[in-house]
């Protein structure tokens, strides 16, 4: 149960970081608040990546049953895990690169992929916030299977 809430919190934090430029453009006074979250961007990204991969691996066997039993939740779950992995890679790659000693070809490829994902960061942030909100509504019982 706590694991589910961690997914939601990580998606919310990662989503806010990903759309921080958009938030600051609309409300410049929010910059001070967002500056408190930005130092943790790498760790939030690594957390998203780890939770996304583990969530997908752990629940892979049950995925077809989930989709059959409750298609809406199954779709939200898949979107959330994929978003966690992509956003986690985007936000966490600079931190992961710091942990890897030296310059390896794999690190260069990963940084190239990071640059390719950069234009999608706002979209990934919006999707992360949306799926986090939907997951919270499901957990609170606002959205149910009978709907």
pLDDT digits (tens, 9 = 90+) for 45-60: 999 999 999 999 998 8
pLDDT at 102 over 90: no
| Encoded tokens for 15 | 């989503």
The percent of residues above 90 in pLDDT, for the chain, comes to: 52
pLDDT at 133: 97
Instruction: Compute the Cα dihedral for 134, 136, 137, 139 and give only its sign.
Output: positive
Specify burial of residue 51 (Cβ count, 10 A radius: 0-12, 13-18, 19+): buried
Distance CA 122, CA 100 (A): 27
What are the residues whose beta carbons fall under 8 Å from the beta carbon of 60, sequence distance 6 or more? none
Contact 79, 100 (CB under 8 A): no
pLDDT at 118: 78
Distance CA 30, CA 32 (A): 6
> What is the pTM (predicted TM-score) of this model?
0.87
pLDDT at 16: 95
The percent of residues above 70 in pLDDT, for the chain, comes to: 97
Q: How many CB atoms lie within 10 A of CB 22?
A: 13
- Which range of 16-25, 68-77, 93-102, 123-132 scores highest in mean pLDDT? It is 123-132
Contact 127, 83 (CB under 8 A): yes
């Amino acid at each position: 149960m706590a694991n589910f809430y961690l997914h939601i919190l990580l998606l919310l934090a990662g989503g806010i970081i990903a759309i921080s430029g958009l938030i600051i453009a609309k409300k410049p006074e929010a910059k001070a608040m967002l500056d408190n979250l930005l130092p943790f961007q790498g760790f939030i990204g690594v957390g998203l990546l780890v939770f996304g991969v583990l969530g997908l691996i752990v629940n892979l066997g049950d995925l077809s049953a989930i989709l059959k039993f409750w298609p809406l939740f199954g779709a939200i779950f898949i979107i959330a895990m994929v978003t966690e992995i992509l956003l986690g890679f985007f936000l966490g790659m600079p931190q992961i690169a710091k942990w890897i000693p030296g310059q390896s070809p794999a690190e260069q490829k990963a940084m190239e992929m990071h640059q390719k994902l950069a234009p999608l960061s706002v979209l990934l942030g919006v999707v992360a916030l949306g799926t986090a909100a939907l997951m919270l509504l499901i957990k609170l019982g606002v959205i149910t299977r009978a709907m």
